[in-house]
Structure 1
Amino acid sequence: MSNRPLASAGRAVPLLRAGLIAGIVVAAAMYPLAALTGIGAKATAHAVEQKTSILKTALPAETSYLYAPDGKTVLTMFYEEYRKYTKIEDMSPNIQQAIVAAEDNRFYQHHGVDPKGVARAFVANSRSGGVSQGASTLTMQYVRMALRDSASTPKEVQEATQQTSLRKVKEMRMALDIEKELSKEQILERYLNSAYFGHRAYGIYAAAQIFFSKTPDTLTPVEAATLAGLVKSPSEYDPITSDQKDAFARRNYVLDNMARLGYMSPDAAAKAKAEPIQLKLTNPPNDCASMLDKYKATWGFYCDYLKNWWSSQPAFGENRLERMDKLRRGGYRIVLALDPKIQEAAEKNVGAKDGTGSPFANGIVVAEPGTGRIKAMAVNRTYSLDLSENPNSSNPEAGPNIKANYPNTVAPLLGGGSLPGYQAGSTFKMFTMLAALNSGTKLSDTINSPFKYQSAIYDGWAPVNASGAMTGVQTMWSGFGKSVNTFFVQLEEKIGAEKGVRLAEQLGLRWRTDVDRDHASPDNAHKWGAFTLGVSDATPLEMANAYAAVAADGRYCEAIPVLSILNRDGTPAMYKTAGGVEREVAKPRCRQVVSADAARAATDAARCPTGDTPAKGGCGGWSTADSVRGTVGRPVAGKTGTTDSTRSAWFAGFTPELAAASFIADPDNPFNAVGDGLSQVPVDAVAMTLRDALKGKPVRQFTPPSDQIVG
C-alpha cells in the first residue's frame, strides 16, 4: 500500500463519497464490533442471531449417488450443484494452504473480520472512486455462501448476495459470531465444501474430480494453487478455456503467496510456477439419461422409475417439487433393488421377436414376492433423450399425435409415471377369482357357461367366449385355464363386480383415465361388468406386483425400487406411518390383502393356463399358454390377456420366487393392433426370463390350498 499522503483538495470529494458508503463497514469491522451500536444493529440483531444459529449447523447442497445392488458401483448422480462433502482430514494440506494464500492471508490471525484488510480496501476503493478491492475474509465469504445455500426463497437469495452496506454489516457480525462457535479448521472445511470453482464444481471434491480426476487428498501444490485461484472468478481464470494465460497468472500469484506465507520454499514455488497447467478432465454423469455407458441404454428405465417413485414419497417433502429438490441436493446414497442377473435375462428375452425398431413396445417387469422389490425392468427401446433416429421425429407431416417413441425414448412405458398403461385383457380375471375365493367360493364350484351370456345385471350386456370349445360346465381351474369369459362374468355377478374392483385397488392398481375412474367409482363399480375382462388400463409394474402378492400367499407389498437409502450422515432415511411410527423408507411395506388359503387356491387354478399341473384339480384338457411350464422347467402359474382385435397382448406369470408381467402394444397408437401373430411374444418373454433368472436355483413348490377351499 502506498505511503503517500492524500492531501490534495481534489481527493476530498471521492474520499467523502466513499466514506459515506463504506464508513459503516469500517466502523463495524473494528473488533470487537463496538461500533455497531447506533447504526441499526439492534433492529437486526435478532435476525442476525437466528441466521448465525442456522449457519452453525447448515450444510451445503450435496450430490446424491445412485449405486448398483453391490453398493459400490456408481451408476449415476443427481445434482443441481455437483458436490460431495469432504472432511478436512481428507483434504491435502496443499489445498488448505492454497485457499488461504489465495483468499485470506491473515485467516489464522483475525477473528472473522480483518481490520487491516478493511482499511486497505477502504484506501484502494477511495483512490479508484469505486469498488476495486474487497475486504471479505474466508469466514465472511463462508457466511455469504452458507446464507445463499440455506435460502429457501428468491428474496432470501437476493438478501444473501446483494451489494449493500447493511448486508456487509450483517455478514461481519455473523462472521464474528461464527468464529466464536467454530474452529478455524471447521470454518475452512465448510468453506472448501461450499466454494464454487466453475464447470458445476461446488466444493473441493467436485473441483478435484472435474479438473484433475482425483480426490482432494492427492492434490499437489500446483493443482491446489490452480483450483484455489478459481474461487475469485471461476470464469475469468478458467483453465479449461483455450487461452490459459489468466489462469496461469492467477495460479502463480497463489504460489507466490504460499511461499511468502511459508507454506513452501521460494525454490519450490519458482519450480512450480514454471510448470504448465495440466488438466485431466472428468464429466460426472447427472440423472438417468447420462448413466455410465455400461448401463445407460438398459438400466435407464429403471432409474426413471426410481425418480417417479421418489417423487411420490412424503418422506422427502410435501410435494413433488420439494421431493425432487431433496434428491438433487440431499446427498443421499441410494442402492437399487435391481438384480443384474435378472435384468440381463429380461433384456435378452424381451423383444426377442420384435426389436427396438418396432412401433410395438414389448416390455417386462419382474417383482419379488414378499418384498415388493422390483428386480428388473426392460423394454425393446433405448433409454435416450436423442430422438433424432426416431421415425417421424423431424417429419412435420406426421402430425402432432405421432410420437414415434422408438428406438429412443424416456417415456415411462413400464409404469411408475404418468402414462395410463395398456388394456390388460384377461389377466384381470385373477382379481375376480381372488375376490370370489376370499368370499367363500370353492375351487370346484361349477358354472354352466354358454358361448354367449346375456347379462341381466349389466344393462343387457352380452359377452362371448373366444371359441365354442369353452362352452359348458366349468370349475375355477378350467374356467381360468381356458380363459372362459362367460364363466367369469357369471362369477362376477355372483360376488358383485365391486369386490373385484376394490381388490384390484388393494393390490396396487390405479385408475388413470377419466373413463376408468368413473367406472371404478363407488356409484358405478357394482355394474362394471367388463372389469373382469380387462378393459381397464394397467402397467406391467402394477400387474407384476399384483401377481407377486398371489405368489406371496396373499400378502401385498408396495412396489419399491431400492435396497437402501442413506442420508448424508450415513443414517437410514426414515418416514412416519399414519400411526406415527418411524420406519425406514427402503424397507418393504406389506399387508395381507386376501387369506393365504385364497391366494394358494388362486395359484392352483393359475397353474392351468401355463400347462402346469395343479395340486388339487383338473384343467379341463387344454390351456391358453401351455408352453410356459416346459420353458420355465419348474412349477409356474400365470394368465394370458388379449384385448379386442388383439390391440395389446399380455402375460403375467409367477413362481414362488419371482413374478413377472409382460405386454406388447403400440404406445403411440392403441388402435394399431399387434395381431394374433405377436400375442405369443409376452408369453415367451416371461417364460424365458423366469427360466434364465432362476437357472441354478433350487426348485421350489407351491403350497397347495386346503381341502376346505377346494370343496
Structure 2
Amino acid sequence: MKLLTSLLKLGLKLTILGCLLGGIALAGAYYYLAPKLPDVQTLKVVKLQTPLRIYSEDNQLISEFGEKRRTPIQFEQIPDNFINALLAAEDRNFFNHIGIDIKGLARAAFQLASTGHIQSGGSTITMQVAKNFFLTRERSFLRKFNEILLSLQIEQELSKEEILELYINKIYLGHRSYGIQAAANIYYGMNIDQLSLAQHAMIAGLPKAPSAYNPITNPSRALERRNWILKRMHSLSFINDEDYETARTSPVTAEYHGTQIDLYAPYVAEMVRNELYQYFDDRLYSDGLRVYTTLNSEMQTAANKAVEDGLLAYTERHGYFGPEQKAAVTDLSQESIVKSLKQQRTYGSLSPAIVLETEKQQASVYIKGIGVTSLAWEEMNWAQEFKGPNRTGKKPKQTADIFSPGDLIRVRLTANENWRLSQIPKVQGAFTALSPDNGAIKALVGGFNFNHNKFNRATQAQRQPGSNLKPFIYASALEQGYTPATLINDAPVVFHDTNLESNWRPENYSKKFYGPTRLREALYKSRNLVSIRILRSIGIDTATEFLTRFGFDKTRLPNNLSLSLGSADVTPLELVTGYAGLANQGFKVNPFFIDRIEDSEGNTLYQAQPMTVCSDCVYSPDASEIPSNLTALQIQPETDSDALSIPLESDQAAEESKEEPAEVSTNLQPVSGQQITTLPLAERTMQPHTAFMIYNIMQDVITRGTGRRALALKRTDIAGKTGTTNDQKDAWFSGFNSDVVATAWVGFDQPSTLGRREFGGTAALPIWIDFMKVALSDSPDLPAAQPDGMTSVRIDPKTGLLAYPGQENALFEVFPEDSAPTDIAPNPAHTNTAGSSQTDEIF
C-alpha cells in the first residue's frame, strides 16, 4: 500500500512537473510566436477578391470578369437553415467555444498518437478563418499552433457573427465559386435565401472537400454527405422529423449555371474591360469594381433584336447556303445526336439541330436543348440555293431539295412560336444609338453575334458612309448663306485630274439629270451631281472644317470632290456622333459609355462629366461674360478621369452634298443671367437657323424621300438619311428625333456588293425602324421648335421665288428672315407680267 501511495505521489509530482514544463513551453512558444503573427485587426477591413461587374444604367447585369466568382453577403442575409447545416457539418459548438474546441483537438492528438498520421485537425470555423486568411495549407505542428493562437486572438477582436460572415464569404466551394452566395448561383441558379433545406445542406457539405462532394461532378458522394449533414441536423434538433424526411428524400438538382446575365451587351462589356484595364491592370478582375454604363436595357435589347432580324432577313432574301455540315451524324440515335450537338454553340436565336427525317414538305429535327420537333414547309420553303448576291436557284419543291437526314442545320423560334429554318449570316451589321443631349451611348451592337465574331464594327470598322455624309455638306452650305430654296443645276459634269487614269464623270444613281433643283429636293432625293456642285461652290476646305466640328477625323476626309459623295472613312460610332449634332439643334457632344465606377463598398471612384447641351442657355463668344458660378461637378477617380473616353473612328461614302457655314467660335459660353448647368456645356457647331433648316429638310427624307419606310412609325418628329456606297458595298441609315439618334450599317467585313437591289433603305433602314419602335414608344411626338429670326413663306417650287398670287402648286419653305426671297415668280398665265427673273446662281 505504501508503495502504491509513493507511486501515486511520484506520478502526481511528475504530472505537475510535466504540466508546469508544458505550460512554460507553451508560454515560451507563445511569446516567441505571438510577435510574428499577423494582425487580426486587418480582418475588420478585409477586401475579398470579387470580380468586375458591369451594369446598365438601370442596374441590369451585363457582364462579369474575374477568375473568382464571389458575391459577398452580410450575416443577416444568411438563412437560419444554412447556419444550422454548416454548424452540424463543421462546428456544432461554434457559438459557445473560445475559438478552439478542446475535445476536437484532443481527438486529433489521439488519432495522431495512435496512427502516426494527422487524420483530422479538430479545426473550428474560427480556426479555418485563421488558416484561410493568414496561413498556408501546410499540415505541420507549427502551422497548427499558429492557427490556434490566431483563433484565440480573432475571438477577442471579432464577434461570432463577424467571424461566420468572413468564413461563408471566403471559402472555396468548387467550380470557381467562392462563398455561399456564389455557390448557390452556380449550382442552383438562385440566391442562397431561395434554396431549400436539402440544397442548403448540399452546399454546407462542400467546404470539407469541394471536389469529392461536388453535386455536379460527383453526385453520389455529394448525396451521401448531404444526408449525413441532415441526419446531424435532426439529431441536434435543428430540424423536425417531417423536414428531415422531406429533405433526405429530395433528389440532387444541382447543375452548372454560368453568370446570370440580365442584359446581353457583350460588345460594350468588352469596351469597358479594355478601357479600364489600362488603369487597374489585373486588379480590375479582383477588386470588386462595379461599373455602371450608359446603356438603356430596353433600347439595347431592341437593338440586339433589330440587328439580328435585319441580317437574317437579308440572308433569307439571298438564298440558302445549304446545311452547316452535311451528314454530321450517320447514327441517328439520341445518344449520338446529343453528343454531336453538344459540340455546337447557339448564336443568338440560332439553335443547332440535326435533321432526323424528311417527308415531302415537312421535316423532323432534333434541336439542341429542346429535343425533337417538326419544321413546317412554310418555315423552310424560302431556301432557294444561294448562287451569289444577285442570283438564287430554283424554289425548292420538297424538303429533300433543302437537306437530308443527319445534316446539321440552324433553326430559330419565330414570333408565332414556330421553328423556322435559318442560317448564320455571312453579312454583318452594326448599330449605335446615343442621347443627343450628352452623347451617352444607349445601345450598341458590333455585329451579328459576339460569340461568333468578336470584331466590334460599331467602333472599329472604317467604312464609307455614302450619302449618309451629305447632310453635313448641305448644312455647311446653309451656314454659308444657301437656303432650302436655292437652285443648283443637276446636270452632267466632267472633272479632269492628272492623277486619274481617265476623267471622272459622276452620275446620279438613276443615270438621269433633272436640271435646276432646289437644295431641299436635292438632299431628300439624294442627287449626286447637285452635291458635287455645292461642294465645289463652298470649297473643300470650308466643308472639311465644318465636318471636323462634328467629330470627324480630318485625316480620313478626302481632299477632293468625292467627299460630297461620302468617300470618307468613318465608323458607325463616329457617324452617329456627328448626327447627334443635327439632332440637338447644333451642339457638339462626345460619345461615352461609362457613367460611373464604384468600389466594392459602393464608394464612387469616377463620375462622368459629359459635355451637355443647354438649349436654354444664350451663348456668347465673349469670355468675360462667363458667370462665376458656372462650375462642373467633378468626382475624381483613382485614375485619370479625363482619359476615360471613347476614341472615335471612321468609315465610308457615296451620294449627296451641300454648302458651308460661317465660322463658329469654339469658346462659346453661356451668358450671365441665363439658365446654368452644373455639367460642362457642349459647344455650338452651327447656328440655330442652320440646325433647324437641315432638320426640316431631313424630315422630307422620311415623308417623300429614300426613307419613306420610316412612315410606319407614324411620327412627325423624325428625320434621317439613307446612304449607299458604290456597288452597294455599304448600306446605312442614320436618323433621329430630339431624344434619340441612331445609325444602322450593313455590309460584309471584306467589302463586296450586297446585291443590286440592296440599299440603305432596304438593308439598314428596317433595323433602324425596329429599334425606334421601342426607343420612342414612350416619347412624345414633338418636332423641333422654329427658332427666332426665321420665317415661313409660300414659294414657287420651280424657281424658289415667292409664289405668285393664286399659285396652286406653291410650297411653304423656311428661311432666315434676312434670306427670304422678295421677288415674285412669274405667272406663266401672264407672259407679259413684269415678274422678276430667278436671281439664285445656277452653275
**Counterpart Cα distance in 1 of 2:309 and 2:713:** 12
SS of the aligned residue for 1:538 comes to coil
Alignment CA distance shift 1:275-1:686 (3 Å): closer
Name the counterpart of 1:670: 751
**Counterpart Cα distance in 2 of 1:175 and 1:432:** 75
Q: Deviations over 1:247-296 (max 9, x none)?
A: 35534554565567x5548x859965993453333543337xxx57xxxx
Residue correspondence of structure 1 range 233-248 to structure 2 within 5 A: 233-241=209-217, 244=220, 246-248=221-223
CA contact (8 A) 2:198 2:247 kept: no
| 1:139 pairs with 2:126 | yes
SS of the aligned residue for 1:311 comes to helix
Shift of residue 553, structure 1, vs aligned partner: 1.8
Residue correspondence of structure 1 range 117-516 to structure 2 within 5 A: 117-118=104-105, 120-125=107-112, 127-146=114-133, 175-211=151-187, 215-217=191-193, 222-241=198-217, 244=220, 246-251=221-226, 253-255=228-230, 258=233, 262=236, 264=238, 268=241, 275-276=248-249, 278-281=251-254, 283-286=256-259, 300=264, 303-314=265-276, 318=279, 322-323=283-284, 329-330=288-289, 336-339=295-298, 342-343=302-303, 346=306, 350-351=310-311, 352-355=313-316, 357=423, 358-376=425-443, 381=448, 383=449, 385=451, 409-412=452-455, 414-416=457-459, 419-433=460-474, 442-443=482-483, 451-452=492-493, 454=495, 464-467=505-508, 477-478=520-521, 480-481=523-524, 482-484=526-528, 485-487=531-533, 489-490=535-536, 493-496=539-542, 498-500=544-546, 502-504=548-550, 506=551
Name the counterpart of 2:579: 547
Shift of residue 185, structure 1, vs aligned partner: 0.5
Q: Which amino acid aligns with 2:437?
A: G
Q: Which amino acid aligns with 1:318?
A: Y
Shift of residue 647, structure 1, vs aligned partner: 1.3
Q: Which amino acid aligns with 1:487?
A: R
**Counterpart Cα distance in 1 of 2:727 and 2:125:** 71
Q: Which amino acid aligns with 2:465?
A: A
**Counterpart Cα distance in 2 of 1:648 and 1:273:** 63
Shift of residue 183, structure 1, vs aligned partner: 0.9
Name the counterpart of 2:839: none
Shift of residue 339, structure 1, vs aligned partner: 2.2
Name the counterpart of 1:661: 743
Alignment CA distance shift 1:167-1:492 (3 Å): farther
CA contact (8 A) 1:560 1:588 kept: no
Deviates more, 1:269-278 or 1:630-639: 269-278
**Counterpart Cα distance in 2 of 1:242 and 1:424:** 57
Shift of residue 551, structure 1, vs aligned partner: 0.7
**Counterpart Cα distance in 2 of 1:560 and 1:588:** 15
Alignment CA distance shift 1:163-1:676 (3 Å): farther
Alignment RMSD: 4.9
**Counterpart Cα distance in 1 of 2:499 and 2:184:** 69
Which protein, 1 or 2, shows the higher relative CO under an 8 Å CA cutoff with sep ≥ 6?
A: 1
Alignment CA distance shift 1:709-1:257 (3 Å): farther
TM-score, normalised with respect to structure 2 = 0.59
CA contact (8 A) 2:429 2:744 kept: yes
Task: State percent identity of aligned pairs.
Answer: 22
Match of 1:591 among 663, 673, 682: 682
Alignment CA distance shift 1:281-1:120 (3 Å): closer
Shift of residue 231, structure 1, vs aligned partner: 0.5
Name the counterpart of 1:96: 83
Q: Which amino acid aligns with 1:350?
A: G
Q: Deviations over 1:95-140 (max 9, x none)?
A: 2233233333453355445566556545534554444322543234
**Counterpart Cα distance in 2 of 1:90 and 1:626:** 56
CA contact (8 A) 2:437 2:584 kept: yes
**Counterpart Cα distance in 1 of 2:281 and 2:514:** 51
CA contact (8 A) 1:374 1:561 kept: yes
CA contact (8 A) 1:333 1:567 kept: no
Q: Which amino acid aligns with 1:311?
A: R
Q: Deviations over 1:380-421 (max 9, x none)?
A: 94x374xxxxxxxxxxxxxxxxxxxxxxx34355524xx424
Q: Determine which structure has the larger helix proportion and give its number.
A: 1
Name the counterpart of 2:719: 637
**Counterpart Cα distance in 2 of 1:644 and 1:427:** 13
| 1:600 pairs with 2:692 | yes
Shift of residue 650, structure 1, vs aligned partner: 1.4
CA contact (8 A) 2:75 2:165 kept: yes
Name the counterpart of 2:46: 58
Which sections of structure 1, spanning at least 5 residues, go unmatched?
1-25, 148-158, 293-298, 386-408, 512-516, 613-622
**Counterpart Cα distance in 1 of 2:680 and 2:256:** 38
SS of the aligned residue for 1:339 comes to helix
Which sections of structure 2, spanning at least 5 residues, go unmatched?
1-21, 317-421, 611-631, 638-643, 646-677, 791-815, 820-843
SS of the aligned residue for 2:248 comes to coil
CA contact (8 A) 2:427 2:746 kept: yes
Shift of residue 533, structure 1, vs aligned partner: 3.7
| 1:534 pairs with 2:566 | yes
| 1:703 pairs with 2:746 | no
Match of 2:765 among 659, 676, 683: 683
Shift of residue 233, structure 1, vs aligned partner: 0.2
**Counterpart Cα distance in 1 of 2:580 and 2:753:** 30
| 1:35 pairs with 2:11 | no
**Counterpart Cα distance in 2 of 1:642 and 1:222:** 62
**Counterpart Cα distance in 1 of 2:477 and 2:284:** 40
**Counterpart Cα distance in 1 of 2:818 and 2:455:** 41
CA contact (8 A) 1:492 1:532 kept: no
Deviates more, 1:699-708 or 1:648-657: 699-708
Alignment CA distance shift 1:171-1:460 (3 Å): farther
SS of the aligned residue for 2:163 comes to helix
CA contact (8 A) 1:610 1:624 kept: yes
Alignment CA distance shift 1:652-1:105 (3 Å): same
**Counterpart Cα distance in 2 of 1:646 and 1:320:** 43
SS of the aligned residue for 1:662 comes to strand
Alignment CA distance shift 1:531-1:247 (3 Å): same
**Counterpart Cα distance in 2 of 1:580 and 1:84:** 32
CA contact (8 A) 2:540 2:560 kept: no
TM-score, normalised with respect to structure 1 = 0.68
